[in-house]
């Protein structure tokens, strides 16, 4: 694959048993400007690393369960197109269960603050 056809994706990995302090892992995925960030995550899960944990449900921006921090911005990866360089982290303000999955039952961040962040990004 040529360099211009690749997206470099850095993902924060966390495993309470195997990697409790967390660390970034980098993956190279085929770059397609019409594919979403969620598509890139599924590519990694399906073709590169089946141990990657993340959430997705409606894939249309309705349920908000996929919310992540990508390149410093909180957004819905099912609604945003992938970039050539992406740093993906779990949603800030919640305890991380594993990799990109957080515990939404702990309401630490006001819903209105999250909605405002999504509108901005």
C-beta closer to ligand FES: residue 44 or 66: 66
Q: Which of residues 67-106 bind ligand FES (CB under 6 A)?
A: 76, 78
Instruction: Rule CB under 6 A: say whether 57 interacts with ligand FES.
Output: yes
Does 64 bind ligand FES (CB under 6 A)? Our answer is: yes
**Residue among 12, 65, 101, 109 that touches ligand FES (CB under 6 A):** 65
Give the list of residues 6+ apart from residue 70 with CB closer than 8 angstroms, or none: 37, 77, 80, 86, 87, 88, 89
Beta partners for residue 85, in sequence order: 8
Asked whether position 63 contacts ligand FES by CB under 6 A, the answer is yes
Based on the shown chain and the rule CB under 6 A, indicate whether residue 53 belongs to the binding site for ligand FES: no
Pairing of strands 6-15, 85-89: parallel
Neighbours of 22 (CB within 10 A): 14
């Amino acid at each position: 694959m040529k360099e211009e056809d690749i997206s470099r994706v850095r993902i924060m990995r966390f495993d309470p048993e195997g990697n409790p302090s967390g660390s970034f892992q980098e993956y190279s995925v085929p770059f397609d400007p019409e594919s979403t960030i969620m598509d890139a995550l599924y590519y990694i899960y399906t073709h590169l690393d089946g141990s990657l944990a993340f959430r997705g449900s409606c894939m249309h921006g309705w349920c908000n369960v996929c919310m992540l921090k990508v390149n410093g911005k909180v957004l819905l990866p099912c609604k945003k197109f992938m970039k050539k360089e992406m740093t993906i982290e779990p949603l800030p303000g919640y305890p991380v269960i594993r990799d990109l999955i957080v515990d939404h039952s702990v309401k630490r961040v006001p819903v209105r603050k999250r909605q405002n962040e999504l509108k901005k990004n």
